[in-house]
Structure 1
């Protein structure tokens, strides 16, 4: 009996140890039956046909045509992937992947060439209607982003997102989208990476219009969040009961760890999270509403340091706070990487990090970590789970759809082992967040569907599951190894590190660093 008891105890211990190993590596977890998978693109990055079919000029058309040196390879999106003429072909590639949904954005200027409703472009309506119908015919759900950084140039010349008149212009534009497509589109995202529009486009020079004006950045933030809220209320009042769709907003979160475990660095990391992510999420997803208190305090202190008579942060009125609260059915989250933050205090901040200065934080990527083609994208999977838990704790565990997650490489690379490693590792962290932490993540979007115009990086950095040969006029697509792996994950609904698709060499996971 004693021997049997000892054997039983050892067996129990081994079973426990095996279970623990499975938990640690996420191998016992599968994606819930109702979990949705997709992939995505944005209009300017892939469509091309910049002046075809009555489309108007966008701020990115103007930037790339008049200031080509702003783009790393002096390229533009005039042709890009030419998805404008390849609807049926591309939907078949999506069907091959087995995705549940396809996230794409609508070009404002393809619908309203001058940004306003005095003229609705029939070809724009035709193009997106055909795309939506083709997706549905192949059992793929359209997920539509209304604004992914390409503003009509006519509206940019009126002050762009610093001009509160854009609240009404955007609402009128959204109304047309609901009228023409809302019978078939049931998932809407108002803005992609709302704070990036303002931090990087108006406060900085990383995206159009490259204004580099901090005051303009905060004016932009108020306009964007009010425009989102007005569109949400429009849908509630006029369309929701009949169309039965839902509306969210997408924000980018970098997870910030403190550089050191001193309380000042811990506070700096928290402040950076509030400043970059919480700025336009806190007003929607908290009971109190308004901007994050830590952000209000840090921007006010930074403004005083710059000898300004008042804070750069543009106040929301009591009525505006109430208007914005609760205006989302889900939260779209874009996540790629993790960085480390330290307290600035009275020290000078590096000019390349201007957008963190008002948060009293200096945040940098860890250059000792494995990286992608994009210099800022370090592969740190654990930050994904931390970010999801922070969102759960800060905003009462809202429904989250991962609206972007991906890895960049250089050139026309097909055997993209490092991207496969990235997706496997990050999806394992997502599974832990769902199964162990109770985070309500209901969907995942691999970014991106195909290689495309990567904003100021041009075509140097490529995020696609499908490679695009930009040297050839017909822009042929080729499935990368990662496309086959993603297809397998969607079919099996779990991560399988040992799976190698037929016809591809096996990745040596411990030696993927030499690929670039």
Structure 2
């Protein structure tokens, strides 16, 4: 059985007590990340159209902490040159940012191009190149144009595929300087939180139903963009991938039921989006569980849309490397089968999870267990073969009350040491690590109460002054010396 194989993987991934080298090899580059809605502001400036997150945050009563919005955010639309200078001063190679679809195409439709929006991203990209860095561009980081949504074209409508391809073509054509393309950030968040439990924009609650339709449309969209890129831009050298998040899970006990539960959770949370791209079709465990629950709940067919063979072949292989966002490790146990009159993602997955215990945690409650990142990239290697891996996000939040973020320095030291151990001991080919985030920003439902940045911003300050935290010096030392003391971090 598949969960038995998974239990063997748990046993076989052995960790040694120390790294063979404390220096990062030249094959690994460092970077930092942001996203458009979280930092740009200028939400209705220079022809930008409304996005679903603009609409969502302007809802009354507000679903966001303190009624915060991204209307101004970090004001990076006006301060992008300063941001690029500060990022370059960190000594990093990669700057990952995202494109606001509605800044380029205000209505989402390709017959309505905002030249000022394209000019902004062109200038930003050229500025990054000027400082010797590589632009890593995400085409979609959750901010769908509101007009498309109002017209019924969103992530549960197959018509979105062609609109996203049209948008992506325009962006790619105008930004040949981009070094790495990422199609969609954290597809699980897009589908589970936007169309499952409804906590994210556009706030649709359809757990176990429309969230799977979203996954189906999203994967076909990613594949269509990838094929368009390879066919229409053969002279572009930049590689392309999708960027799922994958959090590590550890069984609560060594009982077979808990080991099987941990395996299921990985397949539902991570495999759902990785396997169709790297192996083809949905994960077996996902297909069988949803089919079983669908029968129990008296549906005429599985609630999971099925790929035909042509679709399987079209989606498989549409990635040049593995990208992964990682933040936290979970403790997972098996639970009893849910009632047959309740359809939900949770009943399909049939697990219970909590954060893995730790003496340290971020302001958002995420506990700190840096060894989880090594487990995740080993699992990806075991599941999908020897692939190049780019860690596209890793970070921790503070509450914004102090610039002395020693716990962030400790967090990154632990994470980076475990990544180095995976490279040197486990022979995992990680070619880059991108930290979230360069700067404090709008943190979705948490608004401005969570601070992931190395640079602090007081969001009551109209000037949005960038103030370095202690972790800035840490990163400058890391990128200059490429050295970490890892003896106590594994």
Q: Same fold (TM over 0.5)?
A: yes
Partner in structure 2 of residue 364 of structure 1: 354
Partner in structure 1 of residue 52 of structure 2: 59
Partner in structure 1 of residue 383 of structure 2: 394
| Structure 1 unaligned residues grouped into runs of 5+ | 1-21, 499-508, 511-516
Give the one of 474, 482, 493 matched to 2:482.
493
CA shift digits 1:437-468 (9 cap, x unpaired): 01111100010010000000111111001111
- TM-score, structure 1 normalization: 0.88
Partner in structure 1 of residue 218 of structure 2: 224
CA shift digits 1:192-228 (9 cap, x unpaired): 0112100111011231112110211011111110111
Name the CA shift for 1:139/1:225 in 2 (closer, same or farther; >3 Å): same
Partner in structure 1 of residue 229 of structure 2: 235
Structure 1 position 378 matched with structure 2 position 367: yes
Structure 1 position 336 matched with structure 2 position 327: yes
Secondary structure at the residue paired with 2:390?
Answer: strand
Structure 1 position 278 matched with structure 2 position 271: yes
CA contact (8 A) 1:250 1:333 kept: yes
Name the CA shift for 1:413/1:118 in 2 (closer, same or farther; >3 Å): same
Give the one of 171, 180, 188 matched to 1:177.
171
CA shift digits 1:370-397 (9 cap, x unpaired): 211112x110112111111100000002
- TM-score, structure 2 normalization: 0.93
Partner in structure 1 of residue 435 of structure 2: 446
Partner in structure 2 of residue 462 of structure 1: 451
- 1:86-105 correspondence to structure 2 within 5 Å: 86-105=79-98
Inter-partner Cα distance in structure 2 for 1:67 and 1:302? 37
Partner in structure 2 of residue 136 of structure 1: 129
Partner in structure 2 of residue 481 of structure 1: 470
| Structure 2 unaligned residues grouped into runs of 5+ | 1-14
Partner in structure 1 of residue 11 of structure 2: none
Query: Shift of residue 348 of structure 1?
Result: 6.8
Question: How many residues in Structure 1 have an aligned counterpart in Structure 2?
Answer: 472
Query: Shift of residue 355 of structure 1?
Result: 4.0
Larger-Rg structure: 1
CA shift digits 1:296-346 (9 cap, x unpaired): 011122223333222211111111100001000011100011001111222
CA contact (8 A) 2:246 2:376 kept: yes
Give the one of 34, 38, 41 matched to 2:34.
41
Secondary structure at the residue paired with 1:188?
Answer: strand
> Quick one: higher RCO (CA 8 Å, sep 6+), 1 or 2?
2
- Of 104-113 and 32-41, the range deviating more from structure 2: 32-41
Query: Shift of residue 367 of structure 1?
Result: 4.9
Give the one of 111, 118, 130 matched to 1:125.
118
Inter-partner Cα distance in structure 1 for 2:22 and 2:347? 41
Structure 1 position 312 matched with structure 2 position 312: no
Name the CA shift for 1:305/1:482 in 2 (closer, same or farther; >3 Å): farther
Inter-partner Cα distance in structure 2 for 1:67 and 1:497? 49
Query: Shift of residue 68 of structure 1?
Result: 4.7
CA contact (8 A) 1:258 1:342 kept: yes
CA shift digits 1:20-46 (9 cap, x unpaired): xx9624373321212111000000000
Give the one of 290, 311, 334 matched to 1:299.
290
CA shift digits 1:259-290 (9 cap, x unpaired): 1111111011001101111111101112xx10
Structure 1 position 198 matched with structure 2 position 188: no
- Find runs of 4+ consecutive structure 1 residues off by over 6 angstroms: none
CA contact (8 A) 1:59 1:151 kept: yes
Give the one of 156, 162, 165 matched to 2:159.
165
CA contact (8 A) 2:41 2:75 kept: yes
CA contact (8 A) 2:32 2:437 kept: yes
CA-based RMSD: 2.0
CA contact (8 A) 1:81 1:475 kept: yes
Inter-partner Cα distance in structure 2 for 1:459 and 1:391? 33
Name the CA shift for 1:66/1:99 in 2 (closer, same or farther; >3 Å): same
CA contact (8 A) 2:198 2:206 kept: no
Inter-partner Cα distance in structure 1 for 2:75 and 2:486? 34
Partner in structure 1 of residue 420 of structure 2: 431
CA contact (8 A) 2:39 2:73 kept: yes
Inter-partner Cα distance in structure 2 for 1:367 and 1:212? 30
